[in-house]
């Protein structure tokens, strides 16, 4: 069985250089601190992953649609239905006999249906311009060659997909194997900024904070299957033929609405009347003209939306310093951000009410102020056309004019492991 020093003290990771400076004081050693101020692009490398397919998403420098401090900007995924991959280098360091603190903030401004907002600390053996979701932690050759002195990496942060999966990932990679924490950790799901903090101590104990408050704690010895167990696998055992290796499957509860495919794009005009001069013998059976169907939304698809804002990334050895950062940034601005969000919601709801005004009362106005069958048909068609134009952005997405993509994500380190299937 591995001893304590073997498991914990060998956390020596040649990280990618993100912002090369050390800050030492009597209280903390800060390996890296990134608040995405002006010039952040020079410290980060955007990957060309999926660029050749036209599916590479972009980031923008912003505080988001609502914030407690508009000048406190992060980087936000800016394009719906795209892949995102970005990395930066940080200096090599060791946490031998020291505490490791990894902290960052994330805000999901979008109505997130399927997306991850996590970061990774990984080794430096990678081409930053090429790494992406299908990039392994390390090749088998490097695993064999470098295990003795590059044994460790981690992934940490929220992952949401459907109504069932609202998980907080905490995955440790040791000697080429990935180990997920065995506890069911839940993440925040609202549209406000939250700080996530992972603390790993020299005695192998750990803590998980959300917004500066402890959400979970325990030991690497018990909460991960990293150490050898007292029992080993039966070498003669064979996997059953019906064994399912898939960790995740499509949400069976996320189904297409009943009757969705039967909704036509156009419907017969209920107000149209057969002209008095119509002759079925010469003109055939009269059919009313069709008008746009206001209930039609296009083919149904699961939407993958951008809008995640990453900020305030910190790697240090002092939990108290990390907590002070939370107090200085999040605690000071959380109420202001909440007020800004509530105001933005009022504006959104007002726009929805305005759309309903145009799409519904127009029919009444047509009945009162328009006389004559032909004019009636034209005005009703125009009323439907108003509805279609107001709903045009949603229709364009639903009908596939925006390409599908995968999960919003941001990485610190050498690769991205996230894809449409974990």
Same domain membership, residue 297 and residue 320:
no
Mean of pLDDT values over 151-162: 78
In a domain, 242, yes or no: no
Pair (46, 28) in one structural domain: yes
> pTM of the full predicted structure?
0.64
In a domain, 77, yes or no: yes
| C-alpha dist (Å) from residue 330 to 29, 51, 77, 333 | 22, 35, 21, 5
Kindly state whether residues 145 and 291 are assigned to the same domain: no
Give CA–CA dist 151/123, Å, rounded.
9
State the DSSP string of 211-233.
TTEEEEEEEHHHHSS-SPPSS--
If you compute the radius of gyration of the chain from its CA atoms, what whole number of angstroms results? 28
* 260 lies in some domain: no
Q: Is pLDDT at 133 greater than 90 in this prediction?
A: no
Average pLDDT over residues 135-159: 59
Q: Is residue 176 part of a domain?
A: yes
Range of 122's domain? 4-227+304-333
DSSP annotation of 157 reads: E
318 and 369 within one domain: no
Residues 93, 127: one domain?
A: yes
In a domain, 411, yes or no: no
| Confidence grade of residue 192 (pLDDT, cut at 50, 70, 90) | very high
If asked whether residues 357 and 316 sit together in one domain, one would say no
**Residue 276 — pLDDT band, cuts 50, 70, 90?**
confident
106/163: higher pLDDT: 106
The Cα–Cα gap between 44 and 59 comes to: 11
Domain boundary among 292, 317, 333: 333
* Together in a domain, 176 and 131: yes
Q: Judge if 173 and 289 occupy the same domain.
A: no
Last residue of one domain, picked from the residues 333, 351, 377:
333
Give me the mean pLDDT over the 324-353 stretch: 89
Is 235 among the domain residues? no
Work out how many domains the chain is built from and give that number. 2
Domain of residue 38, CATH code: 2.60.120.200
Least confident of 22-26, 219-223, 260-264: 22-26
Q: What is the structure's pLDDT at 206? A: 96
pLDDT band at 297 (very low <50, low <70, confident <90, very high): low
Q: 113 and 131 share a domain?
A: yes
| Centroid of chain to Cα 263 | 31
**pLDDT score at 115:** 75
Asked if residue 43 lies in contact with residue 88, where contact means CB atoms within 8 angstroms, the answer is yes
Residue 143 lies in a domain: yes
pLDDT, one tens digit per residue, over 47-87 is 888 888 888 888 899 999 999 999 999 999 888 878 888 88
Are 79 and 108 part of one and the same domain? Answer: yes
More confident residue, 303 or 109: 109
CB of 418 closer than 8 Å to CB of 86: no
What pLDDT sits at residue 18? 33
Q: How far does Cα 191 stand from its chain's mean position?
A: 12
What's the mean pLDDT when you consider all of the chain? Answer: 74
Domain-located, residue 46: yes
Pairwise CA distance, residues 149 & 146, whole Å? 6
Which residue, of 281, 314, 333, is where some domain finishes?
333
Question: 367 and 329 share a domain?
Answer: no
Q: In terms of domains, do 310 and 371 share one?
A: no
Does residue 151 carry a pLDDT above 60? no
């Amino acid at each position: 069985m591995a001893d304590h020093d073997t498991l914990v003290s060998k956390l020596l990771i040649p990280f990618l250089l993100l912002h090369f400076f050390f800050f030492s004081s009597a209280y903390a050693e800060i390996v890296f601190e990134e608040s995405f101020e002006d010039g952040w692009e020079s410290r980060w490398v955007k990957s060309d992953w999926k660029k050749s397919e036209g599916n590479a998403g972009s980031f923008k420098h912003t505080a988001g649609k609502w914030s407690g401090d508009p000048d406190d900007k992060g980087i936000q995924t800016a394009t719906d239905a795209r892949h995102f991959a970005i990395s930066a280098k940080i200096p090599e360091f060791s946490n031998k006999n020291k505490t490791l603190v990894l902290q960052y903030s994330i805000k999901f401004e979008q109505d997130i249906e399927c997306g991850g907002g996590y970061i990774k600390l990984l080794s430096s053996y990678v081409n930053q311009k090429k790494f992406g979701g299908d990039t392994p932690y390390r090749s088998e050759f490097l695993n064999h060659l470098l295990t003795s002195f590059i044994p460790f990496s981690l992934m940490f942060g929220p992952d949401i997909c459907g109504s069932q999966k609202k998980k907080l990932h905490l995955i440790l990679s040791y000697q080429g194997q990935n180990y997920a924490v065995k506890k069911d950790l839940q993440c925040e799901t609202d549209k406000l900024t939250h700080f996530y903090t992972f603390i790993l101590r020299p005695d192998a104990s750990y803590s998980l904070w959300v917004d500066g408050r402890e959400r979970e704690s325990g030991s690497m010895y018990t909460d991960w299957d990293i150490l050898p167990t007292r029992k080993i696998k039966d070498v003669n055992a064979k996997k059953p033929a019906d064994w399912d290796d898939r960790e995740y499957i499509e949400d069976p509860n996320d189904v297409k609405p009943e009757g969705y495919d039967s909704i036509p794009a156009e419907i017969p005009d209920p107000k149209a009347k057969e002209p008095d001069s119509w002759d079925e013998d010469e003109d055939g059976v009269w059919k009313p003209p069709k008008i746009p169907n206001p209930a039609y939304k296009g083919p149904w698809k699961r939407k993958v939306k951008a809008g995640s804002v990453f900020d305030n990334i910190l790697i240090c050895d002092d939990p108290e310093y990390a907590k002070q950062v939370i107090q200085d940034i999040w605690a000071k601005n959380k109420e202001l951000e909440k007020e800004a969000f509530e105001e933005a919601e009022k504006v959104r709801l007002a726009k929805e009410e305005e759309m309903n005004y145009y799409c519904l009362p127009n029919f009444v106005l047509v009945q009162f102020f328009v006389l004559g069958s032909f004019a009636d048909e034209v005005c009703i068609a125009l009323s439907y056309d108003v509805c279609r134009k107001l709903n045009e952005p949603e229709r364009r997405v639903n009908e596939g004019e925006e390409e599908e993509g995968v999960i919003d994500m941001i990485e610190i380190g050498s690769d991205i492991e996230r894809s449409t299937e974990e």
